[in-house]
Amino acid sequence: MGENEAMVLTQKNDPVLMTQTMRWFGPADPVSLRDIRQAGASEVVTALHDIPNGMVWDRPAIAARRAEITRAGLGWSVVESLPVHESIKLGAPDCDRYLAAYRESLRHLAAEGVRVVTYNFMPLLDWTRTDLRYEMPDGALALRFEPVALAAYDIYILRRPDAARDYDEATCAAAERRVHAMDAAARLELEQTIIAGLPGSEESFTSAELLRAVEQYGDVGADRLREHHAAFLEAVCPVAEEVGIRLVVHPDDPPFPIFGLPRVVSTEADVAAIFARVPSVANGLCFCAGSFGARQDNDLPGMVERLQDRIGFVHLRSVQHEPDGSFHEAAHLEGDARMAEIVAALYNIQQRSGRSIPMRPDHGHQMMYDLTRTTNPGYSLIGRMRGLAELRGLERGIAHAAAAA
């Protein structure tokens, strides 16, 4: 066997591994493209965050963003996210114009080489936390969600009518004690943490604006939101199929109703129903282990196996559940996610299908040098770099064990 033949054989026998990416929020991101490349990622996932929701992403703007990424030695095949306008989620009379804009944006993205487009169908708010600087035992800072803090904001600061009905008696009592112990600065910090806008959320609200927006959803329950989601997919999937893009829905975060707003992408049954209703090959899933993992009744490794054909993008992070129903972001290989089983399931899918699934380490602790820097919550560099390195090592260890078996 000649040298070239041996090289080809080795390459054919090489395992298919996940495409390692990191999220980048564009030129204003404190984390640079050079940082991301040095962290070991080969691609970024990003979006045109400066374009208002519902507007067309024109091709020159997409091309300019791609050129910037390419100059840094990185690839860009996954968009996160192309937002769905609230009129589409509400099924409002003007939703057709926003559906048309979405289809046009998909055509432009495909023309510039994007193959996966992430979106979510959460009403009004993107991912929600009540503490962006929860101190871990080692001094690193994590994101945390606490039901009592949410209830304190909802009942006493937002003052949503009848909000107390959505919480049990013990939570309401604890929320009352909490809010009465808070000074004005603490109340403002809680308000800003919940609604002032987080990375990946193109819109933000004041409490008064949020309350008015919540009222618009007064007659949109879970069943109607599911219908609107299906209508969205039926309107855009034909174009996505035509141009070779897979749409992947990000699960709800947290995966249960908040502020009386329905959530319809929270469980395996939810996503299975979406795929049954709209069976298009363009209708896919962004499997976020952290979002699904915030519900203890979601079997994460089993979901990966059963939903494998629909998974087009993966977010890997782990949450740690607390006895009172709170949860916080754990280190990527710790917490309750059973990460080794998840990555093993993904590895097996890739070997069977021959396709590399784009992955990014989702969120990360603010730690070390980043504790002294201004960072986007959950998206500081060092914590995500640690997560990427750990996940890379885990996957390669699984591959090595498989080869040795």
Q: What is the CATH number of the domain that holds 361?
A: 3.20.20.150
Strands 116-120 and 75-80, by their bridges, are parallel
Is residue 151 a part of any domain in this protein?
Answer: no
Is residue 15 a part of any domain in this protein?
Answer: yes
315 is an active site residue: yes
Q: Which residues face 320 on adjacent strands?
A: 328
- Tell me, what amino acid is at 357? I
The total number of structural domains in the chain stands at: 1
pLDDT score of 205: 82
379 is an active site residue: yes
Is residue 59 a part of any domain in this protein?
Answer: yes
Q: What is the DSSP string of 111-179?
A: HTT--EEEEE--SS-SS--SEEEEEPTTS-EEEEE-HHHHHHIIIIII--TTGGGGS-HHHHHHHHHHH
The one catalytic residue among 250, 328, 332, 365: 250
The one catalytic residue among 95, 172, 286, 288: 288
Is residue 206 a part of any domain in this protein?
Answer: no
Is residue 63 a part of any domain in this protein?
Answer: yes
Is residue 180 a part of any domain in this protein?
Answer: no
Is residue 261 a part of any domain in this protein?
Answer: yes
Strands 327-329 and 319-321, by their bridges, are antiparallel
Six-digit token pair at 155? Answer: 């009942």
| Mean pLDDT, each 10-residue run in order, the chain (405 residues) | 39 86 96 98 97 96 98 98 97 98 98 98 93 97 98 97 97 98 96 76 79 94 98 98 98 96 97 98 98 98 98 98 97 98 98 98 97 95 98 98 94
The one catalytic residue among 328, 332, 363, 365: 363
Is residue 226 a part of any domain in this protein?
Answer: yes
Does the predicted model carry a pTM greater than 0.85? yes
Cα-based angle 321, 265, 273 (whole degrees, multiple of 5): 130
E strands, 317-392, in order: 319-321, 327-329, 358-361
Domain assignment of residue 236, given as a range? 3-124+217-404
pLDDT score of 94: 97
pLDDT score of 12: 55
The one catalytic residue among 29, 126, 270, 362: 362
Rounded CA-CA distance 271/359 in Å is 19
